[in-house]
Amino acid sequence: MARVMATRSLLPKHTRWVEIAGGNHSQFGHYGHQLFDGNATVTREAQQVIARDALFERLHASLKSP
């Protein structure tokens, strides 16, 4: 996480960060094991619901903006 935060300034200022506590890269999609991923402490389904809800919320908000 420290490496990600160290490069945060490279992203647009309006970037919205959604941390999924207990999640990992393998469960973000159906990638299979990712090197250095660690073990998730939430289910794949729970992690994907959090990610999907955040995406839908942003998409819905963009429809309201001119």
4-17 pLDDT, tens digit each: 889 989 999 888 88
Residue 47 falls inside a structural domain: yes
Shortest CA distance to 22 belongs to which of 58, 48, 52, 57? 48
Q: What is the pLDDT of residue 64?
A: 83
Instruction: Please indicate, yes or no, if residue 28 is contained in any of the structural domains.
Output: yes
pLDDT at 23 over 90: yes
Q: Which domain holds residue 41?
A: 16-64
Q: Is the pLDDT of residue 61 over 70?
A: yes
Give the pLDDT of residue 66: 61
Res 2: pLDDT: 84
pTM: 0.76
Rounded Cα distance between 1 and 50, Å, is 19
Residue 31, domain member (yes or no):
yes
* Number of domains into which the chain is organized: 1
For residue 7, being part of any structural domain is answered with: no
Give the percent of the chain with pLDDT over 90: 55
